[in-house]
Homo-oligomer: A and B are copies of this chain.
């Protein structure tokens, strides 16, 4: 099954828009065991579009075209699709009715140029778009089946998942059911995780499970793609392998599937009826910013404080007997964590106090990160040194803080060594 993706539009071709639609589509196809063979980006130009469609029709089995389904004159996908397929454009009455309903529901009159969106190649199969006026469609060009999708990301995503992928899978003769299981971890590099998970795929001797990774510092996503005859078969194959992955990656797994680290932290605090007070320095609000704006965080998030000089903490917390000038110490970090909790009456405090290296930014620029958590019962402080430039240290410190809090809330050790640390 050779798959090609054609991205269209002057804004993508000129680089005004980064082509995140393509990477999204390709990853979604990978997740169900399909691979993209070629990707082509062309502008809103009749000759180039026609050449691209004909070329793809000669070398691919399935082609997904993205963009060019809008109502304006530079939206050319239907017209060129008809030309490449050697058929006429015809009004699709079904889509016209759907579109008119779309506008009626919003108490608006449909502008006349929207009719263009219901003009499809006469041989096309209509593909539903439940959330927009751009009609998807499928048509044969050359030896390939072409699937036309809208450029608006949320419309493309829904159409890809609900309509296009099932059709491509049906054509590819792949097993009927495919499932993607994801684990999100912090603190393990990709090659280390690969080593830790050596052989897990073999727990399904039939080879129905494929292991993969996607690293986006500081997080790592571990993916299991499972194929089976039906969903029962998929879950039967997945269960022992997922259990083995959980066992081997252990405390490093922060969240699974669509959950996020910040979402887990918020859910744990909410479940424990906890509240939180945060203190930051160099991260300058980025720790609070990860979950303070989430829905229902207003019940949990008590206060965030940012200072850029440790000595400014005296003005916030007093702490007369605590030495805050010069380098941070474990004692001082613990005192700040205790004070932040006590001042706000929160059940938990989370502090991230960072001693940055001197001098200009550079690849071996580093920081010593003191992460502290206080509760009514105790205080833990963790010291970590991270190198890699100012931005690397900043991102690492944010994830470190949130993950330490997750571990504390889940009763796991806060001081487990991670791959990104230097001594």
Residues of A within 8 A of B (CB): 12-20, 22-28, 30, 35-43, 48, 52, 214, 278, 280, 282-289, 291-293, 295, 297-298, 301-309, 312, 315-316, 344, 360-361, 390, 394
Give the CA-CA distance A291 to B283 in the complex, in Å.
10
Q: Given A13-B36, A23-B19, A39-B41, A280 and B285 touching (CB < 8 A)?
A: yes
Tell whether, in the assembled complex, residue B37 and residue A40 are in contact, meaning their CB atoms are under 8 Å apart. Answer: no
* This chain's copy number in the assembly: 2
* Interface pairs (8), CB distance under 8 Å: A13-B26, A14-B26, A14-B35, A16-B27, A282-B293, A297-B308, A303-B316, A305-B305
Give the CA-CA distance A384 to B28 in the complex, in Å.
39
Q: Which residues of B contact A390 (CB under 8 A)?
A: 293, 295
Q: Given A285-B284, A285-B304, A289-B286, A15 and B30 touching (CB < 8 A)?
A: yes
CB distance from A231 to the nearest CB of B (A): 25
CB distance from A400 to the nearest CB of B (A): 15
Q: Which residues of B contact A52 (CB under 8 A)?
A: 38
Give the CA-CA distance A39 to B39 in the complex, in Å.
8
CB distance from A145 to the nearest CB of B (A): 20
Tell whether, in the assembled complex, residue A304 and residue B316 are in contact, meaning their CB atoms are under 8 Å apart. Answer: no
Give the CA-CA distance A409 to B42 in the complex, in Å.
45
Tell whether, in the assembled complex, residue A14 and residue B41 are in contact, meaning their CB atoms are under 8 Å apart. Answer: no
**A394's closest neighbor in chain B, by CB?**
B293
Tell whether, in the assembled complex, residue A39 and residue B13 are in contact, meaning their CB atoms are under 8 Å apart. Answer: yes
Tell whether, in the assembled complex, residue B20 and residue A18 are in contact, meaning their CB atoms are under 8 Å apart. Answer: yes
Tell whether, in the assembled complex, residue B15 and residue A22 are in contact, meaning their CB atoms are under 8 Å apart. Answer: yes
Give the CA-CA distance A202 to B306 in the complex, in Å.
50
**A13's closest neighbor in chain B, by CB?**
B36
CB distance from A391 to the nearest CB of B (A): 9
- Not counting A14-B30, A292-B306, a sample of 18 additional A-B residue pairs whose C-beta atoms are within 8 angstroms of each other reads A15-B22, A15-B30, A17-B23, A19-B22, A37-B43, A38-B41, A39-B40, A39-B41, A40-B41, A284-B288, A284-B297, A285-B287, A289-B289, A295-B361, A295-B390, A297-B308, A302-B307, A304-B306
Give the CA-CA distance A298 to B355 in the complex, in Å.
12
